[in-house]
């Protein structure tokens, strides 16, 4: 299966409106970051994690034709405001798109996008979705999904594990029980905004401590602010750790492996 980083930027996107910093004025393509989202797909299955503000642009560039499900991490604007563009997929395929998240996330999505969940006049079109509140592991088209509870400041949100890959963004606190679910990974994706500590997000040193504990084979940082230049930051990071960039694609196995035993109560090498 493949994972494509549709967007890798923070809530402002990069370049930030009106900003003249070196990253925002850079001509390097990898410093241009739309809001944060990923697409997991193969010939049979298409799964989104979040629908960022630029989702329509991201989907067109990626050549996306179908969506089997959307997993939401939380209901902040930069992670959900592309929601309306899901309507093309329900129209093309004459089916509702299942959306998943924890209770606060799904309830807030239903409030923010209330027009999609109440009777309105015909015409104009709106997303046809089917909300699911989740708390346990489940599968989407044979792809196993493990919700990983973490905290975005004090807000309870989800990361997700798919076989030997995990995607955990917008957090500065991973509870011990959730750390146990992140051992034995081939690929770890973490949201990291800058070098300096942040009240609701990871900074680089915090993320490196987590990587040292979990020992994934490779790690990518996403949800990156304009305080991190792509090339300069990558030169400073240890081997096996790098900033992601919009359009980057990686391969992974969604099937459970022997290493996944660590995701249910055993530390690596314990």
Q: What is the pLDDT of residue 263?
A: 46
Q: Is the pLDDT of residue 264 over 60?
A: no
CB under 8 Å, gap of 24 or more: what pairs does 170-175 form? 170/36, 170/73, 170/74, 170/76, 170/79, 170/200, 170/201, 170/223, 171/201, 171/202, 172/198, 172/199, 172/200, 172/201, 172/202, 172/206, 174/148, 174/150, 174/210, 175/149, 175/150, 175/151
Residue 267 pLDDT > 50, yes or no? no
> Which of 228, 266, 182 minimizes the C-alpha distance to 10?
228
pLDDT in tens, 166-215: 999 999 999 999 999 999 999 999 999 999 999 999 999 999 999 999 99
Tell me, which fold does domain 2-264 have in CATH? Metallo-beta-lactamase; Chain A (3.60.15)
The band of 220, judged by pLDDT with boundaries at 50, 70 and 90, is very high
List the domain boundaries for the chain: 2-264
Which pLDDT does position 123 carry in this prediction?
Answer: 67
Residue 255: its pLDDT value, please? 78
Mean pLDDT of all residues belonging to the chain: 93
- pLDDT tens, 2-51? 999 999 999 999 999 999 999 999 999 999 999 999 999 999 999 999 99
E strand or H helix at 187: strand 187-194
Residue 265 reports pLDDT greater than 90: no
Whether 76 shows a pLDDT value over 70: the answer reads yes
**CA 188, CA 164: separation in Å to the nearest integer?**
9
Q: What is the DSSP letter of 57?
A: H
pLDDT of residue 256: 67
Predicted local distance difference test score (pLDDT) of residue 91: 83
Residue 270, pLDDT score = 29
- The reported pTM is 0.93
């Amino acid at each position: 299966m493949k994972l494509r980083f549709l967007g890798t930027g923070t809530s402002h996107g990069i370049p930030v409106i009106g900003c003249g910093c070196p990253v925002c004025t850079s001509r390097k393509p990898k410093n241009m970051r739309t809001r944060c989202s990923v697409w997991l797909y193969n010939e049979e299955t298409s799964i989104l994690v979040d629908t960022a503000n630029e989702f329509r642009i991201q989907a067109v560039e990626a050549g996306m034709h179908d969506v089997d499900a959307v997993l939401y991490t939380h209901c902040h604007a930069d992670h959900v405001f592309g929601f309306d563009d899901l309507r093309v997929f329900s129209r093309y395929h004459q089916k509702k798109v299942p959306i998943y998240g924890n209770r606060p996330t799904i309830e807030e999505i239903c409030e923010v996008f209330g027009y999609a969940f109440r009777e309105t006049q015909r015409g104009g079109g709106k997303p046809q979705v089917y909300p699911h509140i989740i708390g346990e592991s489940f599968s989407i088209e044979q792809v196993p999904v493990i919700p990983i509870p973490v905290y975005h400041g004090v807000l309870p949100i989800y990361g997700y594990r798919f076989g030997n890959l995990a995607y955990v963004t917008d957090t500065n606190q991973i509870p011990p029980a959730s750390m146990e679910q992140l051992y034995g990974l081939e690929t770890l994706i973490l949201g990291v905004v800058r070098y300096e500590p942040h009240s609701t997000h990871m900074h680089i040193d915090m993320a490196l401590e987590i990587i040292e504990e979990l020992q994934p084979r490779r790690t990518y940082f996403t949800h990156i602010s304009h305080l991190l230049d792509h090339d300069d930051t990558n030169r400073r990071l240890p081997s096996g750790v790098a900033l992601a960039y919009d359009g980057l694609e990686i391969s992974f196995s969604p099937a459970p492996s022997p290493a996944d035993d660590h995701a249910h109560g055993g530390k690596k090498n314990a």
